[in-house]
Amino acid sequence: MSFAPVARRPGDTAERRRSVLLVLPAVLVTVVVVGGGLGAAVLQSVGLLPVVGPATPSLDAYSAHPDDLLAAVGVSLWIAAASTLIAVVVGTAAAIVIVSGRLGGRIVGAIGAVTVTVPHLIGAATIGLLLADAGVLPRLLGISSEAWPALVGGPWWAAVIAEFAWKESAFVALVVTGTLATRVATYDETAALLGAGRWRRFRHVLLPLTAPSIVISGAISFVYALGSYEVAWLLGRTYPEPLPVLAVRLFQGVSLDSRPEAAAVAVVTSAIALLVVGLAFATLRRTAAWR
């Protein structure tokens, strides 16, 4: 069974050309900034942009610390996957509550809107003050710091995941609410009139129609968590380091040959991010609403 509620409009050639012209300035700026940055990182990582000395191409930067790099990839994927999963579940649920139009929905909407505006750095500092061994929460609950679980700097990266999940769930909720509030409401009402229950409406109407926004917002929050430095640095532990923390440490390393290594980590991070975005687009093409 498939739903194809919105037929794609076949635009004529002139219209298509005009739309290409309209996006061109944005594309150009993106290509120069992102392309330049990524290009410089690739060049540095293969030894072609040294701080001192002649440029000699080599792949040493990628193979210098294979264990650190592998551990970093593992930790980063864990943080990004866990926080994105929570964010998507919580965000979608919040969106459904928001569009219900009741008072609770308006309150959830307001909380979500406020959450989106809080910078991650502030969020991380707040979560740290709240959840640390000697933080606000253990003090309020009267639990000694020895008995409190190691949420900040602990082996499961709980505080880092909590921060990303909290911030990104608000973001997912906002995006999904946007979709739900437009065309979905009428389909939902129609299905209700035809006698569909809550669960069936969610399973066969809401979920297929919002799948594209869920996939896109999920991909964005995954890539953000993968590449974000400050939250993992503030709330994380000394080892293993997530990719961005490893990259910054190497970039700030005192020996001059650690800069190419930092660039290599950045290139690996970008490659994973591009792969995830690619997968998201592939998934998007399979969703009912996209076809």
Partner 1 sequence: MSSIRPRPLRALSAGLALPLLVLAGCSSPATNPVSYDNWNAVIDDAEGQTVQLWMYGGDDQGNAYVDDVLAPAVAEFGVTLERVPVTDTRDALNRVFTELQAGRADGTVDLIWVNGDNFRTGREADAWLCGWTDVLPEMANTDSDDPLLESDFGTPVDGCEAPWHKAQFTLAYNADAIPDPPTTLEGVLEWAEENPGRFTYPAPPDFTGSVFVREVLASVSGGADEVPAAYSDDAFDELTPALYDRLAALAPSLWRGGDTYPANEAELGQLFADRQIDLMMTYGPATLTDLVADGTYPPGTTVLPLEDGTVGNASFLGLPANSDAVAGAMVVANVALSVEQQVAKAHPDVWGQFTVLDIEGLDAEDRALFDELPQSPVVPGYDVLSRNAHGELSAEWVPALDEGWRTNVLTR
* Residue 11 makes contact with partner 1 by CB under 8 A: no
Contact positions with partner 1 (CB under 8 A) in 54-93: 55, 67
Determine which residue in the list 46, 158, 237, 244 makes contact with partner 1, applying CB under 8 A. 237
Decide: residue 207, CB within 10 A, 0-12 exposed, 13-18 middle, 19+ buried.
middle
SS3 state of residue 46: coil
Residue 249 in tokens: 């440490």
Contact positions with partner 1 (CB under 8 A) in 270-289: none
**The one segment of 91-99, 102-110, 147-155, 184-192 that binds partner 1 by CB under 8 A:** 147-155
* Residue 150 makes contact with partner 1 by CB under 8 A: yes
Determine which residue in the list 125, 233, 283, 290 makes contact with partner 1, applying CB under 8 A. 233
Determine which residue in the list 100, 145, 182, 190 makes contact with partner 1, applying CB under 8 A. 145
CA-to-CA distance for 214 and 88, rounded, in angstroms? 7
* Residue 32 makes contact with partner 1 by CB under 8 A: yes
Decide: residue 12, CB within 10 A, 0-12 exposed, 13-18 middle, 19+ buried.
exposed
Tell me how far, at minimum, the Cβ of 267 lies from partner 1, in Å.
Answer: 14
Cβ neighbors of 116 (< 8 A, separation 6 or more) are 167, 170, 171, 174
Tell me how far, at minimum, the Cβ of 23 lies from partner 1, in Å.
Answer: 11
The residue ranges that bind partner 1 (CB under 8 A) are 28, 31-32, 35-36, 39-40, 43, 48-52, 55, 67, 133-134, 145-146, 150, 153-155, 233, 237-240, 249, 251-256, 259
